[in-house]
Amino acid sequence: MESFNFYSPTYFDFGKGTESNAGQLVRQFGGSKVLLHYGGGSIKKNGAYDAVVASLNESKIPFVELGGVYPNPKSGLVYEGIETCRREGIDFILAVGGGSTIDSSKAIALGVPYDGDFWDFFGSGKIVEKALPIGTVLTIAAAGSEGSPNVVITNESNLMKWSAKGDVLRPKFSILNPEFTVTLPIYQTASGITDIFVHICERYFTNTENVEITDRFCEAVMLTLINESPKLLRDPRDYEARANIMWAGMTAHNNICGVGREQDWGSHALEHEISALYDCPHGAGLAVICPAWMEYVMEHNINRFAQFAVRVFGCSMNFENPKETAFEGIRRFRNFLVSIGMPQHLSEFGVKESEIPKIVEHFLAGNDNKTVGEFVKLGKEEAGNIYQSCL
Ligand code: NZQ
Ligand code: ZN
């Protein structure tokens, strides 16, 4: 195991009715005037908006609203939010919604105290050290942004979907009421489950040895998703399944499962090109990319893939031919994704074979030597091969 720092100070308020604590939590974490940020209106249908507004009013916290965050959130609304916060003297951002709304909030939060363009932090490796505090009321189990130090935004001028990070971006509090996720369309539920699963895969496929504790954490999250997902397909109102999946989403990405080990993130980098250019749900994009990535890099460490197959998908180990076991694990992973209604081909998002070179160029962003991924480094050629295998 490698040495590490782990700082995860978010206060989680989990369960039915917890949204009524929003106002009090904003106060507790120093907010006196709030930007209430949300997406396209789902929170007005499922009761989250009314409950949060009532709680802010009860705590006598003034707020300014900014709705309209798109899935795969865009830079335009971030600039508007930064201006609004400065003009209105806002000192706390409350995100009510999914990963897109939370990420738009994080981008606004880092932009307000920064003199330059908020985009300077994206794709540059420059760590965010100053930001307004944010809180979240989560309505979809997926991105894990409710506990993560990361933010992902698409720049409208060039469609680059890039990320920034910094521990100051971890929410001060996150309210998780699984009941709010009941109104999710099944395709969004499944995209979220896939994103959670792949957040674990990015950590599980590592070159670091002797990481039994985090391997076992990772396996617990993946097994939970495999066991709980069919329950939601049978009954989308199953509170217990919703609750288990919601907490799985947080644990998959606040890095409790990833400390002390090299992480990969190649599948995410390849997927972000697809959701940036074709505007598909991030999790659905990962459902296509991640299994293809697995097949492409499997030879790098057959034993790790065989371990995944045996411990997560219940395959029996073929000691004479571990590669067969590894393959079987990937096959069962694909079957799981299909069973929850996820796509298998990029063509399902409208990607044509003739467009692959353009996607690779966009991925390279002017740097022909760019590589992504740590388990196996992927450059121009590998990225093209993986996209091609996904058609
Ligand atoms: O816009 P609204 O009305 O909120 O509708 C949303 C949106 O259409 C809807 N929705 C959310 N909760 C709902 C609901 N509909 C009915 N009932 C509810 N309870 O679902 C749609 C998707 O929402 P979105 O916020 O986009 O989903 P998700 O949480 O999957 O976030 C995706 C974004 O997060 C980024 C992704 O790249 C993508 O941009 N990620 C952020 C990460 C991070 N900050 O740590 C890590 C991830 O790997 C990921 O990259
Ligand atoms: Zn993700």
Q: Decide if 297 is inside a domain.
A: yes
pLDDT in tens, 140-166: 999 999 999 999 999 999 999 999 999
Q: Do 113 and 216 lie in a common domain? A: no
User: What per-residue confidence (pLDDT) applies to 360?
Assistant: 98
Q: Which of 180, 206, 233 is the last residue of a domain?
A: 180
User: What per-residue confidence (pLDDT) applies to 228?
Assistant: 98
Cα 194 to averaged position of ligand 2 atoms, centre (Å): 8
Q: What is the mean pLDDT of the chain?
A: 98
Q: The domain containing residue 235 runs over which residues?
A: 186-390
Q: Decide if 312 is inside a domain.
A: yes
pLDDT in tens, 220-250: 999 999 999 999 999 999 999 999 999 999 9
User: What per-residue confidence (pLDDT) applies to 147?
Assistant: 98
The predicted model gives 264-287 an average pLDDT of 98
Q: Do 166 and 203 lie in a common domain? A: no
User: What per-residue confidence (pLDDT) applies to 247?
Assistant: 98
The atom of ligand 1 lying closest to the CA of 153 is 39
Q: Decide if 2 is inside a domain.
A: no
Q: Do 162 and 194 lie in a common domain? A: no
User: What per-residue confidence (pLDDT) applies to 359?
Assistant: 98
Q: Does the beta carbon of 147 sit less than 6 angstroms from any atom of ligand 1? A: no
Mutate to test the pocket of ligand 1, among 72, 134, 145, 197 (most ligand atoms within 8 A of CB): 145
Q: Do 39 and 148 lie in a common domain? A: yes
Cα 55-59-63 angle, rounded to 5 deg: 75
pLDDT in tens, 176-202: 999 999 999 999 999 999 999 999 999
Q: Do 174 and 217 lie in a common domain? A: no
Q: Decide if 276 is inside a domain.
A: yes
The predicted model gives 68-94 an average pLDDT of 98
User: What per-residue confidence (pLDDT) applies to 313?
Assistant: 98
Q: Do 144 and 286 lie in a common domain? A: no
Q: Do 110 and 192 lie in a common domain? A: no
Q: Which of 141, 163, 180 is the last residue of a domain?
A: 180
The C-alpha atoms of residue 286 and residue 197 are separated, in whole angstroms, by 10
Q: Decide if 1 is inside a domain.
A: no
**How many other C-beta atoms can be found within 10 angstroms of the C-beta atom of residue 148?**
26
The atom of ligand 1 lying closest to the CA of 144 is 45
Q: Do 198 and 316 lie in a common domain? A: yes
The predicted model gives 334-350 an average pLDDT of 98
Q: Decide if 52 is inside a domain.
A: yes
User: What per-residue confidence (pLDDT) applies to 232?
Assistant: 95
Q: Mind spelling out the 3-state secondary structure of the chain?
A: CCCCCCCCCCEEEECCCHHHHHHHHHHHCCCCCEEEEECCCHHHHCCHHHHHHHHHHHCCCCEEEECCCCCCCEHHHHHHHHHHHHHHCCCEEEEEECHHHHHHHHHHHHHCCCCCCHHHHCCCCCCCCCCCCEEEEECCCCCCCCCCCEEEEEECCCCEEEEEECHHHCCCEEEECHHHHHHCCHHHHHHHHHHHHHHHHHHHCCCCCCCHHHHHHHHHHHHHHHHHHHHHHHCCCCHHHHHHHHHHHHHCCCCCCCCCCCCCCHHHHHHHHHHHHHCCCHHHHHHHHHHHHHHHHHHHHHHHHHHHHHHHHCCCCCCCCHHHHHHHHHHHHHHHHHHCCCCCCHHHHCCCHHHHHHHHHHHHCCCCCCCECCCCCECHHHHHHHHHHCC
Q: Which of 165, 180, 195 is the last residue of a domain?
A: 180
Residue with tokens 């400065």: 86
Q: Do 147 and 199 lie in a common domain? A: no
Mutate to test the pocket of ligand 1, among 103, 168, 255, 271 (most ligand atoms within 8 A of CB): 103
User: Where residue 310 falls among pLDDT bands split at 50, 70, 90?
Assistant: very high
Whether residue 219 contacts residue 312, with contact meaning beta carbons closer than 8 Å, is answered with: yes
Question: Into how many domains does the chain fold?
Answer: 2
The atom of ligand 1 lying closest to the CA of 39 is 1
User: What per-residue confidence (pLDDT) applies to 255?
Assistant: 98
Kindly report the CATH number assigned to the domain that includes residue 61: 3.40.50.1970
The values of phi and psi at residue 74, to 5°, are -110, 160
The C-alpha atoms of residue 117 and residue 129 are separated, in whole angstroms, by 15
The predicted model gives 76-82 an average pLDDT of 98
Cα 59-65-69 angle, rounded to 5 deg: 130
Kindly report the CATH number assigned to the domain that includes residue 310: 1.20.1090.10
* 141 alpha carbon, closest ligand: 1
User: What per-residue confidence (pLDDT) applies to 221?
Assistant: 99
Mutate to test the pocket of ligand 1, among 38, 42, 156 (most ligand atoms within 8 A of CB): 42
The predicted model gives 207-229 an average pLDDT of 98
Q: Do 158 and 204 lie in a common domain? A: no
Q: Do 172 and 245 lie in a common domain? A: no
Q: Does the beta carbon of 184 sit less than 6 angstroms from any atom of ligand 1? A: yes
Q: Do 110 and 224 lie in a common domain? A: no
